[in-house]
Amino acid sequence: MSLHSLEFITVESDPWITAPPEQPVEPQADLLLGWAQWRDLRERWPNDLRVAVVFPNDVDIRELLSDLPRLALVALPFPKWTDGRAYSQARLLRTRHRYTGQLRAIGDVIPDMAAQLQRTGFDSAVLRAGESIAVAHRMLTFFAEFYQADVNERRLRFDRTGTTGVTPA
């Protein structure tokens, strides 16, 4: 998979229309639905209408798998910036389940999370109110490379240089 660039979205620049929670919704293009709304609508959602879903971070990602081909965007919430379950969900969606649509981080997202968001496969993030997009972009430049593999680079650092990490006797 090629390197995922990370875009920071503002409420004003977001092309997706967030459906009001707990209200009946009719299908329309570019609608961002809650998980319960999508479950209620998915059987009658037209295949030619782009749709996005906010998938809870406390639900098994396997519940979403049959819907992935129909979803242009999956938004994964961070209820608190210290809650990393959405990182795991994103990585699973990208690596194990080969999801190629957009992954968006929402909720309590701060600039310090930018590198890890990118490394786990997120394409976009909505920073919490008051956070700086410029600082978030800068956070992506702090490290030239990482030792661990991620969704963008599947090889460990020592495998990338052709060494095995074993010193000859």
Digit-coded pLDDT (tens) for 61-73: 999 999 999 999 9
User: Is 0.75 surpassed by the pTM of this model?
Assistant: yes
Compute the distance between CA of residue 159 and CA of residue 58 in angstroms, rounded to an integer: 34
> pLDDT in tens for each of the 169 residues of the chain?
334 578 998 888 889 999 988 788 889 999 999 999 999 999 999 988 999 999 999 999 999 999 999 999 999 999 998 888 998 999 899 988 999 999 999 999 989 888 889 888 899 999 998 898 888 888 777 655 544 555 555 555 555 565 445 545 4
End-to-end CA distance of the chain: 37
Q: Rounded distance, CA 46 to CA 51, Å?
A: 10
Share of the chain above pLDDT 90, in %: 50
Sheet holding 51-54, edge to edge: 7-9, 124-126, 102-107, 73-78, 51-54, 31-34, 17-18
Closest CA to 105 of 77, 146, 128: 77
The secondary structure element, H or E, covering residue 158 is: helix 157-160
